[in-house]
Amino acid sequence: MDPVHIEHTADTTHVALEAALGIADARILHEKLGAVLASATPVVLDGSRVERLDAAAMQVLAGFFRTARDRGLAVSWQSLPPGIQQAAHLLGLEFILEMKS
Query: Within a domain: residue 82?
Result: yes
- What global pTM score does this model have? 0.91
Query: Within a domain: residue 98?
Result: no
- pLDDT for position 99: 87
- What's the Cα-to-Cα distance from 7 to each of 13, 17, 59, 86, rounded to whole Å? 6, 12, 23, 27
- pLDDT for position 98: 92
Query: Within a domain: residue 96?
Result: no
Query: Within a domain: residue 97?
Result: no
Residue 20's domain spans which residues? 4-90
Q: Report how far residue 45's alpha carbon sits from residue 51's, in angstroms, rounded to the nearest whole number.
A: 15
Query: Within a domain: residue 9?
Result: yes
Taking the chain (101 residues) in runs of 10, the rounded mean pLDDT of each run is 90 95 94 93 95 92 97 94 88 90 55
The count of structural domains within the chain is 1
∠ Cα 40 81 61 (to 5°): 35
- CATH code of residue 60: 3.30.750.24
- pLDDT for position 57: 94
